[in-house]
Amino acid sequence: MSRRTLFGFHAILAKLRHDPEAIHEIYLDAERKDARARDLIRHAEHAGIKLLPVDGKRLESMAPGARHQGVVAHVSAQQRHVTLDDVLDTLEEPAFLLVLDGVQDPHNLGACLRVADAVGAHAVIAPKDRACGLTQTAIKVASGAAETVPYITVTNLARTLRELKERDIFVVGTDDEGATELYAADWPQATAWVMGAEGEGMRRLTRETCDLLVRIPMLGSASSLNVSVASGVCLYEARRRRG
């Protein structure tokens, strides 16, 4: 059976929660005795996964150049299909989601996945149609984030947003015509951030479903930002407020 390498606490804990049977073994820096390491050990023991304490050099050889945080896992190469309910039903903190309404460029999708991974978002959601999908180009640009952040496609995006709202997840859309600037707006911790497609922005039904529309202040001659840059601006502000 072919294997791949997974690294970092967020990615491996997510795999333990959602797809533990795919994990062959976990390698943890023997010097780590902190709460995060203890939490990982507890989850691994509960799932019956072999966890091996090793030194830092061993980890570096397994994930050269990666920010592995002291933990590396060998997992099955075939990825398990993850649904939005799979993600939301296992969260131990307020939901933090990125929604992409029709992003067509796989380079943009890959960059958005990297942003989502960097801020600790729980999933990226996109429509099945009128979107580029998780192509090999997107996976390459994501630089590993496609392995760590669930990418969930849905048939009807507006309906999915309504279902999120029924779960008390606040839906924030980004729009050049938004009445409130990002830094002046208020929102709860459980949020889904919606970014529109390149050039066209959000579709009408998507826009109408949002609880709040915010705009990113533009002080120069450019009228808008690339979708991955806009995602970074908004998600990092949301992460800052989450603490």
Q: For 37-73, what is each residue's pLDDT tens digit?
A: 999 999 999 999 999 999 999 999 998 887 788 999 9
Chain position carrying tokens 């590993």: 144
End-to-end CA distance of the chain: 41
| Highest mean pLDDT pick, 2-16, 18-32, 183-197 | 183-197
pLDDT for residue 223 is more than 70:
no
Cα(103)–Cα(141) distance, integer angstroms:
15
- Binding site for S-adenosyl-L-methionine: which residues? 196, 216, 225
Rounded to 5°, the CA angle 98-103-108 comes to 80
CB atoms within 10 A of CB 125: 22
Q: Given this model, what pLDDT does residue 107 score?
A: 93
Confidence of residue 80 (pLDDT cuts 50, 70, 90): low
Q: Given this model, what pLDDT does residue 90 score?
A: 86
- Binding site: which residues? 196, 216, 225
Q: Are the C-beta atoms of 103 and 132 separated by less than 8 Å?
A: yes
pLDDT for residue 124 is more than 90:
yes
Give the least confident one: 14-28, 78-92, 132-146, 200-214.
132-146
pLDDT-above-70 percentage for the chain: 96
CB atoms within 10 A of CB 58: 14
Structure-model confidence comparison of residues 199 and 101, the more confident one = 101
